[in-house]
């Protein structure tokens, strides 16, 4: 029996305990041995909970117990998760985490420490919940140069966009609804400002290029400015608005950014609705591929963590090398990226044409404003031209 510990008994941590229980037998078969949770680290006591006897409050109990081989970190946030995970790896224990903040910031360092200690540090659940995108990149798409990864990586915002589109509601109303359903937290900024998606695309880009992508370098726009009027225009154009995290290899380096996009029905991510996540990948020989599934939620995310535990159990005595060096990569300058833009402005067509030349107009029946789509141009060029107009809203077009 392999002894494990779970640090953080919140939604995902308790889901891990549940999945290990639900699929006990098949997990034992696939791991080569049963997996038993010996400790659960949490500041709370969980009196009356079946795991009550396993609760410890001091992470050193786990680090100091030589019987513990696998540690799950599902606490979230950089500290104290970082201190705890480092202690576990240093003590020669394998670790899996669902914590994108930790992985985005400390992934390279923790992978190096794991290699040094001949253990493994896995983090499948940190991106895309139950979608096995990290394992796919690291061990399946190994014949390809990955030229693009574009993802719907945040379930909360995708739920909100879907609901705004279907029901014609305003942003504030769907946010309240998402909070009531437990999809959005009381402080929803990590989701709606795009910070969560930003950390996830930083992790995926780091894995693709094998070096450190600092999430603070990534241009990030959330969905807070999207309105019911924008959705009307989207419908008129036959497009859907999705918060995309984009990472593209360009001659000037990796172009990485997070922003809402208007997708046409031909885009593989167009139909990804509700809390689902999806990752589009383009490889230089593979061509287009897309992976879709539950991006969040207790059991799907726990499924990914437990799959990591099975992977760790199968590689108890050897480190699986992962190329993610701590050297920081410089991203392509955001101002030089090229996009087409949909613009809503209080200015008239004369002003629009003076600034942008001939454009494609979109009329969603909203009085007192002009909607139009620009040709493809750099961000800098767009900014310069748009300065002449009284702009109400800008959304990039996602074309393939």
Q: Would you count residue 43 as binding a second copy (CB under 8 A)? A: no
Closer CB to a second copy, residue 3 or residue 392?
Answer: 3
Residues 6+ apart with CB under 8 A from 205: 149, 213, 247, 254, 256
Q: Would you count residue 284 as binding a second copy (CB under 8 A)? A: yes
How many chain residues bind a second copy (CB under 8 A)?
50
Q: Would you count residue 398 as binding a second copy (CB under 8 A)? A: no
Contact 305, 74 (CB under 8 A): yes
Which CA distances in Å does 276 have to 21, 181, 228, 288?
25, 15, 22, 19
Shortest Å distance, C-beta 159 to a second copy: 15
DSSP 36-104: EEEEEE-SS--TTSTTGGGEES-HHHHHT-TTEEEEEE---SSTTHHHHHHHHHHTT-EEEE--HHHHH
What are 312's two structure tokens?
A: 């760790």
Q: Would you count residue 317 as binding a second copy (CB under 8 A)? A: no
Separation of alpha carbons 51 and 7, rounded Å: 13
Closer CB to a second copy, residue 33 or residue 214?
Answer: 33
Separation of alpha carbons 241 and 378, rounded Å: 21
Closer CB to a second copy, residue 27 or residue 114?
Answer: 27
Shortest Å distance, C-beta 314 to a second copy: 8
Percent helix, strand and coil across the chain, each rounded to 5? 40, 25, 35
Chain CA centroid to CA 6, Å: 22
Position among 1, 10, 29, 363 found at the interface with a second copy (CB under 8 A): 29
Separation of alpha carbons 398 and 341, rounded Å: 9
Of residues 70 through 129, those in contact with a second copy by CB under 8 A are 124
Specify the stretch interacting with a second copy by CB under 8 A; choose among 47-55, 134-142, 157-165, 370-378: 134-142
Q: Would you count residue 136 as binding a second copy (CB under 8 A)? A: yes
Position among 61, 286, 364, 391 found at the interface with a second copy (CB under 8 A): 286
Shortest Å distance, C-beta 399 to a second copy: 17
The position carrying tokens 């593979």 is: 286
Q: Would you count residue 323 as binding a second copy (CB under 8 A)? A: yes
Position among 155, 188, 222, 300 found at the interface with a second copy (CB under 8 A): 300
Position among 307, 337, 355, 362 found at the interface with a second copy (CB under 8 A): 307
Position among 53, 285, 317, 368 found at the interface with a second copy (CB under 8 A): 285
Q: Strand pairing of 253-263 and 240-250?
A: antiparallel
Specify the stretch interacting with a second copy by CB under 8 A; choose among 109-117, 130-138, 217-225, 232-240: 130-138
383 catalytic per annotation: no
Contact 392, 362 (CB under 8 A): no
Phi, psi of 93 (to 5 degrees): -105, 145
Position among 11, 291, 316, 366 found at the interface with a second copy (CB under 8 A): 291
Q: Would you count residue 268 as binding a second copy (CB under 8 A)? A: yes
Separation of alpha carbons 369 and 357, rounded Å: 18
Binding site residues, a second copy, CB under 8 A = 19, 22-23, 26-27, 29-31, 124, 130-132, 135-136, 139-145, 265, 268, 270-271, 283-294, 297, 299-300, 302-307, 309-311, 323
Q: Which residues are catalytic?
A: 200
């Amino acid at each position: 029996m392999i002894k494990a510990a779970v640090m953080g008994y919140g939604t995902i941590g308790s889901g891990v305990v549940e999945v290990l229980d639900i699929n006990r037998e098949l997990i034992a078969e696939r791991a080569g041995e049963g997996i038993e949770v010996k400790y659960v680290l949490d500041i709370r006591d969980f009196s009356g909970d079946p795991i009550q006897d396993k609760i410890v409050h001091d992470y050193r109990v786990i680090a100091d117990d030589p019987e513990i081989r696998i540690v799950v970190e599902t606490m979230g946030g950089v500290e104290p998760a970082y201190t705890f995970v480092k202690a576990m790896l240093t003590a020669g224990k394998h670790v899996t985490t669902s914590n994108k903040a930790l992985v985005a910031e400390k992934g390279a360092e923790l992978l190096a420490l794991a290699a040094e200690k001949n253990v493994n540090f896995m983090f499948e659940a940190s991106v895309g919940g139950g979608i096995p995108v990290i394992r796919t990149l690291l061990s399946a798409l190994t014949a390809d140069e990955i030229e693009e990864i574009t993802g719907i990586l945040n379930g909360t915002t995708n739920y909100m966009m879907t609901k705004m589109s279907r029901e014609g509601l305003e942003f504030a109303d769907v946010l309240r609804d998402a909070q009531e359903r437990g999809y959005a937290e009381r402080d929803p900024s990590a989701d709606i400002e795009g910070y969560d998606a930003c950390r996830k695309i930083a992790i995926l880009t780091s894995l693709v290029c094998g070096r450190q992508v600092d999430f603070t370098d990534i241009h990030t726009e959330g969905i807070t400015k999207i309105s019911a009027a924008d959705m009307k225009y989207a419908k008129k154009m036959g497009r859907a608005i999705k918060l995309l995290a984009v990472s593209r290899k360009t001659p000037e380096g990796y172009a990485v950014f997070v922003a809402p996009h208007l997708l046409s029905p031909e885009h593989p991510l167009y139909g990804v609705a509700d809390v689902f996540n999806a990752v589009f990948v383009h490889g230089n020989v593979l061509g287009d591929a897309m992976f879709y599934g539950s991006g969040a939620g207790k059991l799907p995310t726990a499924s990914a963590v437990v799959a990591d535990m099975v992977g760790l159990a199968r590689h108890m005595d050897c480190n699986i090398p992962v190329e993610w060096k701590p050297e920081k990569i410089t991203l392509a300058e955001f101002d030089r990226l090229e996009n087409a833009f949909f613009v809503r402005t209080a200015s008239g067509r004369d002003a629009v044409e003076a600034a942008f030349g001939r454009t494609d107009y979109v009329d969603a029946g909203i009085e007192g404003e002009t909607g139009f789509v620009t040709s493809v141009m750099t961000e800098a060029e767009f900014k310069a031209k748009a300065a002449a107009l009284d702009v109400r809203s800008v959304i990039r077009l996602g074309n393939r």
